[in-house]
């Protein structure tokens, strides 16, 4: 069996270490290269040791252009500015890319779509299989509960997360809005304070919690008269994101250029 040769950026980060562990445990994957930023204390160390595993022989490097020559796919969960630099290098090397980075603005998303004309890319706000199942459930729920139900989305993450609402929460809002025939940019309400007046039934509300080491909790509430339907996903570790990313990497193996998301990877379209 030909293994998918995986490259990982952000080796010293929490997600990077989880990706290293998941890749080493995946019989269909080969850890081909691991990268971190110049000056990182992780440089030169065995990648597996960062994940608390026996030595793999793959050393952490800052030389992305050289390391990509050994990769079929690069997995990136860094920051938008770094991800876009890595995307350009993947284009030049003809290497597929799985992007789990959140906080992308419209220009960054357009740049990813442009690159996907030359290399295959999976770009999704959340790589966890369970979360992507929730997206499908939300579409169904919104269509059934289209009248008389107010929609509120509550998300919670660790204190180190730098963007809000989370990319997953925003995607949940987009799924619901689309099912209801609304434009999220016009109907979203981000937080409430003071004398707000009665709630507009056409809006979709967002509430954000940041604290401690919460990995990621998301709940969408459809609030009607006399009942409330809640669809939730709670992550207790980052492993679901790593496992979903590997699934996306295998999906891209040998695929022609194009822009895909986890709904494509899981066959939920």
107, two tokens? 């220009």
Rg (CA), the chain: 20
Residue from 240, 237, 77, 36 nearest 162 by CA: 77
- Count the alpha carbons within 13 Å of 76 in the hemisphere toward its beta carbon: 30
164, two tokens? 């809000």
For residue 161, indicate whether it is catalytic.
Answer: yes
**Which one of the listed residues 3, 25, 136, 161 is annotated catalytic?**
161
**Which one of the listed residues 86, 157, 233, 250 is annotated catalytic?**
157
The three-state secondary structure class of 182 is coil
Whether omega before 165 lies within 30 degrees of 0, making that bond cis, reads yes
Please provide the DSSP assignment of 97-132 as one string: EEE------HHHHHHHHHHTTTSEEEE-S---HHHH
* Residue numbers annotated as active site: 157, 161
């Amino acid at each position: 069996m030909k293994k998918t040769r995986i490259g990982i950026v952000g080796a010293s980060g929490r997600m990077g270490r989880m990706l290293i562990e998941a890749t080493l445990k995946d019989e269909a994957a080969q850890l081909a290269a691991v990268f971190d930023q110049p000056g990182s204390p992780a440089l030169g160390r065995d990648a597996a040791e960062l994940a608390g595993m026996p030595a793999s022989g793959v050393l952490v490097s800052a030389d992305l252009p050289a390391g990509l020559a050994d990769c079929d796919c690069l997995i990136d969960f860094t920051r938008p500015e770094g991800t876009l630099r890595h995307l350009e290098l993947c284009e030049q090397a003809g290497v597929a890319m799985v992007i789990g980075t959140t906080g992308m603005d419209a220009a960054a998303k357009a740049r990813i779509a442009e690159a996907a004309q030359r290399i295959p890319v999976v770009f999704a706000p959340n790589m966890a299989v369970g979360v992507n199942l929730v997206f499908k459930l939300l579409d169904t729920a919104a269509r059934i509960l289209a009248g008389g139900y107010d929609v509120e989305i509550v998300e919670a993450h660790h204190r180190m997360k730098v963007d809000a609402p989370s990319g997953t929460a925003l995607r949940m809002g987009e799924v619901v809005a689309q099912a209801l025939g609304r434009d999220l940019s016009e109907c979203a309400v981000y937080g409430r304070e003071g004398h707000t007046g009665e709630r507009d039934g056409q809006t979709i509300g967002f509430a954000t919690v940041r604290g401690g080491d919460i990995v990621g909790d998301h709940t969408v509430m459809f609030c009607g008269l006399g009942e409330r339907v809640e669809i939730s996903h709670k992550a207790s570790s980052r492993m679901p994101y790593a496992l979903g990313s590997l699934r996306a990497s295998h999906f891209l193996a040998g695929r022609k250029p194009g822009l895909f998301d986890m709904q494509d990877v899981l066959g939920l379209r």
